[in-house]
Structure 1
Amino acid sequence: MINKAKFLGYLYIFLGSLQLSWGFHAHRIINESAIYALPKDMLPFYKKHQVAIISKSVDADKRRYVDSAEAARHYIDIDRYPSISEIPASWTEAIQAFGQQTVQANGILPWHIQLMYQRLTTAFKEKKVYRIIQLSADIGHYIADAHVPLHTSSNYNGQYSNQLGIHALWESRIPEDYSAQYNLYVGNAYFIADSQQEIWQIIYESYALVDSVLAMERATVDLLPLFAQTAYSKRNTQLVYSYSTEFVAHYHTLLNGMVAQRMQLAARRIASFWLTAWVLAGQPAINP
């Protein structure tokens, strides 16, 4: 019998090197849901370009193969700082407090969202359609990443807690298996009065969930016999040896709607950042 931890360690060290964020499936669903949360003045443009905005939702992950600086834009290791309350929301103040090398090494996700939001506002002002489409897709990706608890922890793949593989399990396998059951009507987008505060609220929420993400996986391991924890399954066009359907189902149940809730919140907040950038740009007419 193959030891589960050892097997999944080998498997997900490989997979973890390929995957920085929600699986492609989840990113596309989240960006699509965000489009339908927009007000009527923005909806025609986004609906016309929804194929591009949805397909480009995964461009940020693809860029890391050609841009060595990309990886740090997808996470922030909160636990590498003295405390979350001591991390300045301002990029300039964070650099002054900890030094650019340290901040960069610990991940720059919240500050990069702020930068992308500013760029999107500029694109709206200039009415540059291609830039609006690309930046809308990109900021959607990064905001979605910020809603993943493991993107706020140095133990992002359970490598420090003997839970290797939990990253892809939580953010890829569960959405692939269960997102069709989720209600992703997320309500209307809203104007964001303080973008920095909104971004850091997302980070605080995600970091607060890290312990539960890990604890529920341990509980699932304890609940199921070893032989029931892994199985061969078809993923896309390949037959892979991974978590069993039973394991994923038990873990999903113990998470008690967490994945769906984070996807819902991500979609509404993405739409809200799109809306706010457009409003601050002067609500320009953007022809579909």
Structure 2
Amino acid sequence: MLLSFFRLPRVVLLVCGLFLAPSALLAWGNWGHQRINRAAVLALPAPLRTFFYNHVDFVVTEAVIPDSRKYVINDRAEFPRHFIDLEDYGTQPISELPQTSAEAYKKYDAAMLDKSGRLPWYIQDVLAKLTQSMKNGRKDEILFLAADLGHYLGDATQPLHTSSNHDGQLTGQKGIHAFFESQLPEQFGKDYNFKLAEPRLLQDPAAEAWRIIAQSHAAADTLLALEKKLAAETPPANIYALNADGQIKKNVFNNPVHTPAYSAAYHQVLNRMVERQLRTAAQATANFWYTAWVNAGKPDLTALDSNYTTQASAKQLKKELKEIQKGKLVDFRSFQEF
């Protein structure tokens, strides 16, 4: 009875968030974020995987809640956690920026961080909290923080979350954010390969967070330039889908819908960039979860569940592990933006 009581508000919260959140400020949409967390669970070593798989529905659903917190309850503190506008932090190399969150909070005031983003530093903060929650054996905190951490790592692998030109608004490409992160994976994601390597212990998580940010930022100009070139080579009538009134069709978040042919052409010239970035996010999530667990002393998290819970999950886990060997995730429903 208590479980049902808490489920209903969470579902309502999620649904409300989906319809209120402007997609230009999200990363990977529901489709991507939820698959990042699910693939990460399956990549974990057996002792850790068993615990996370026992709660895989929670970890997958909660993958999108950080975005819901922004728009449903208007949590202003949440907004800067999802991006970093690197251009705002100067022209020096990324390696010369404050690498740790302690250094960043000492150098920049809250106004600067809130305006230009906290993402790589907040990833470190959540990792520290997850590690402590594992040491303390607090199951609810572990699952909540792990799901959140997967979300922020997903944001870090979305190139446009590292640039002030986050929706192509500075280059005449408004709408590219949702196009890249939601329409493309929803249209082509069924063929993506989500098989990951075994997670590795991160000796320097701060450096790894920045490595991911740097790689994503390097891809931002590429994805913008490729779409700009493609648009110039494509008849305008073939770029956007039209509604019954002959106007550009919009999705539920009022973003323009591109034609299937144009989406296919863009997806092709990107040369699997969307798939690579999603898989990078899932691998990073597995690596950070694993690192938290090792640094917590490798506690037996399965002891936090009953034997019944573990046994009830075992058959389905076996099925999913068989599918992921082929690079496939089991079919599950996510809210469709396009």
Task: Provide the C-alpha distance between the structure 1 equivalents of 2:23 and 2:263, rounded to a whole number of angstroms.
Answer: 21
| 1:5 matched residue in structure 2 | none
Residue number among 258, 267, 279 corresponding to 1:264 in the alignment = 279
State yes or no: 1:74 paired with 2:89: no
Task: Provide the C-alpha distance between the structure 1 equivalents of 2:281 and 2:84, rounded to a whole number of angstroms.
Answer: 17
CA 1:16/1:214 → structure 2, altered by over 3 Å: closer, same or farther? farther
| 2:131–2:292 contact (8 Å) kept in structure 1 | yes
Which has more strand, going by share of residues?
A: 1
Task: Provide the C-alpha distance between the structure 2 equivalents of 1:61 and 1:136, rounded to a whole number of angstroms.
Answer: 15
Write the letter of the residue equivalent to 2:28: W
State yes or no: 1:150 paired with 2:160: yes
State yes or no: 1:112 paired with 2:127: no
Shift of 1:98: 3.8
| 1:4 matched residue in structure 2 | none
| 2:131–2:293 contact (8 Å) kept in structure 1 | yes
Please list the CA deviations of residues 29-70 of structure 1 after superposition, one character each: whole Å capped at 9, or x if unmatched: 111000111001111111110000000000100000220111
Write the letter of the residue equivalent to 1:266: A
State yes or no: 1:102 paired with 2:112: yes
| 1:9 matched residue in structure 2 | none
Shift of 1:93: 2.3
CA 1:232/1:240 → structure 2, altered by over 3 Å: closer, same or farther? farther
* Farther-moved stretch of structure 1 (147-156 vs 222-231): 222-231
Give 1:106-255 correspondences, 5 Å limit: 106-232=116-242, 242-255=257-270
CA 1:250/1:200 → structure 2, altered by over 3 Å: closer, same or farther? same
Task: Provide the C-alpha distance between the structure 1 equivalents of 2:257 and 2:250, rounded to a whole number of angstroms.
Answer: 10
Task: Provide the C-alpha distance between the structure 1 equivalents of 2:208 and 2:143, rounded to a whole number of angstroms.
Answer: 22
Task: Provide the C-alpha distance between the structure 2 equivalents of 1:139 and 1:239, rounded to a whole number of angstroms.
Answer: 28
Write the letter of the residue equivalent to 1:122: Q
Write the letter of the residue equivalent to 1:254: V
Write the letter of the residue equivalent to 2:229: A
Partner secondary structure for residue 36 of structure 1: helix
CA 1:235/1:124 → structure 2, altered by over 3 Å: closer, same or farther? farther
CA 1:274/1:222 → structure 2, altered by over 3 Å: closer, same or farther? same
Residue number among 28, 31, 34 corresponding to 1:25 in the alignment = 31
| 1:10 matched residue in structure 2 | none
| 2:15 matched residue in structure 1 | none
Q: How much is the aligned-residue C-alpha RMSD, in angstroms?
A: 2.1
| 2:101 matched residue in structure 1 | 91
Partner secondary structure for residue 241 of structure 2: strand
Please list the CA deviations of residues 159-210 of structure 1 after superposition, one character each: whole Å capped at 9, or x if unmatched: 1110000100111111111111111101211111111011000001011111
Shift of 1:238: 10
| 2:16 matched residue in structure 1 | none
Partner secondary structure for residue 212 of structure 2: helix
CA 1:238/1:206 → structure 2, altered by over 3 Å: closer, same or farther? closer
State yes or no: 1:62 paired with 2:68: yes
Task: Provide the C-alpha distance between the structure 1 equivalents of 2:283 and 2:262, rounded to a whole number of angstroms.
Answer: 30
**Contiguous gaps of at least 5 residues in structure 2:** 1-19, 244-248, 306-338
Give 1:3-18 correspondences, 5 Å limit: 16=22
* Farther-moved stretch of structure 1 (76-85 vs 29-38): 76-85
CA 1:103/1:239 → structure 2, altered by over 3 Å: closer, same or farther? closer
Shift of 1:85: 3.5
Task: Provide the C-alpha distance between the structure 1 equivalents of 2:226 and 2:194, rounded to a whole number of angstroms.
Answer: 24
Partner secondary structure for residue 256 of structure 1: coil
| 1:285 matched residue in structure 2 | 300
Please list the CA deviations of residues 122-172 of structure 1 after superposition, one character each: whole Å capped at 9, or x if unmatched: 110111111111111100000010001000000000111100001001111
Percent identity between matched residues is 37
CA 1:240/1:248 → structure 2, altered by over 3 Å: closer, same or farther? same
- Equivalent pairs, count: 275
